[in-house]
Amino acid sequence: MAPTDVLVIGGGIIGLAAARELAEAGARVTLVDAGRNAGSTANAGSLHVQLQSRFMRLYPEQVPRVEAALPFFRKAVEHWESLERELGPFDFVRKGGLMLADDEAQLAFLERKAERERRRGLDVEILDRAALERAAPWVAPGIHGAELCRDEGMINPLLAVSRMISELGRLGVRRETDRIRGIEVGNAGIEAVGERGAWRAGEAIVAAAWGSGPIARSLGTPVPTMAEPLHMNITEACGERIAHLVQHAERSLTLKQVRTGQIVIGGGWPAEDRGPDRVPGVRARSLLGNVGLAARLVPALRSLRLLRSWAGMNTTVDGTSVIGRLPGAPRVTMAVPADAGFTLGPLIAKMACALVLDRPPPADPAPFSPARFGRSGA
């Protein structure tokens, strides 16, 4: 294939945003995406900032690293707001996130969590039942209280991805389909080896989400990316007006209302992993549990029809994003999120591009360096 200045591997939100940033700077860019099992096109559009109770329960060993990165999550949402002004509208809404508590014990957990988040600069407040009714009169009578994080919001991921793709066309970015298996680094540049052939460039940004780990391992850095298949739903329009991103203090849930009035319900219920070449399958148990929990917390949902259920791949690593040049392969820059990939995506892309373009990054990349995984030998 013809050489290019920078090869971007991965066509999700990070790869799209990186390709745009590089092309705006005058680089010749080729974006290569596998075109199968993409996470960004299946995303529900939540913009997370506060510590997610689901993540704390499933990955307790990773919580300290996520907690340390909370200012980074807040900065990522602010970056989305700037992007919408440039490219939008994306249906960006930032009315805050509510994490609901069923009882006194759950509310006490949220109080402890909120104190930790305040120390990291988040704008959070604990609401008792009376304050919650004023902020969200649609909640079920049995809800005891909530934590409000004013930094959170939501976006329409399909609009965001569509507008990004249109921008790449305007900027002349080549978009190709291939699954990259590994990278070879030479004195003059890199060669990415795919199923269809080899792709040559001066440098590469690896933004292939859960597929980034095998590429990094081909260069001797054991980046432990993991694919996490998750379930989502959307209902018909609801007459109730729900402005917040809604979560639960103990059980897996995200709930939000899009501009059409429809309710998007997700939050980490598992889907069936069918391998890297097929989209995950919907599990009946997840579907019923997810929508059942949502209807218990928001009674107005009980009369709505469910229009569609689907599944997509989330990416986790070790609780911290991976941003930086690979040890021993400085022509290759990693750009991988730590959970909440759509939230963090454009900011991670901007930081990776700053390293490639030798510009000041918008945040310190040192805590995210892939060097923390050491070297295993190519």
Every domain of the chain and the residues it spans: 4-41+158-225+318-373, 94-153+226-316
pLDDT of residue 9: 98
Q: What are phi and psi of 206, to 5 degrees?
A: -95, 110
Sign of CA dihedral 303, 305, 310, 315: negative
Position 36 scores a pLDDT of 79
Q: Which CATH superfamily is domain 4-41+158-225+318-373 in?
A: FAD/NAD(P)-binding domain (3.50.50.60)
Determine which helix (DSSP H) or strand (DSSP E) holds 4, and give its type and residue range: strand 4-9
Would you say the pTM of this structure is higher than 0.75? Answer: yes
- Domain 94-153+226-316 classified CATH 3.40.50.1100? no
Interatomic CA distance for residues 235 and 239, integer angstroms: 12
| pLDDT at 2 (0 to 100) | 59
Where the chain has pLDDT below 70, the residues are 1-2, 37-39, 377-378
DSSP H helices in the chain = 13-24, 53-58, 63-68, 70-87, 104-119, 129-135, 157-171, 212-217, 284-297, 341-357
In this prediction, residue 39 carries a pLDDT of 66
pLDDT at 90: 92
CA atoms of 319 and 323, how far apart (whole Å): 13
- Give Cβ neighbours of residue 346 (< 8 Å, ≥ 6 apart): 13, 14, 17, 76, 79, 80, 83
What is the distance between the alpha carbons of residues 42 and 20, in angstroms, rounded to a whole number? Answer: 21
Residue located via tokens 């704008």: 123
Model pLDDT, residue 377: 56
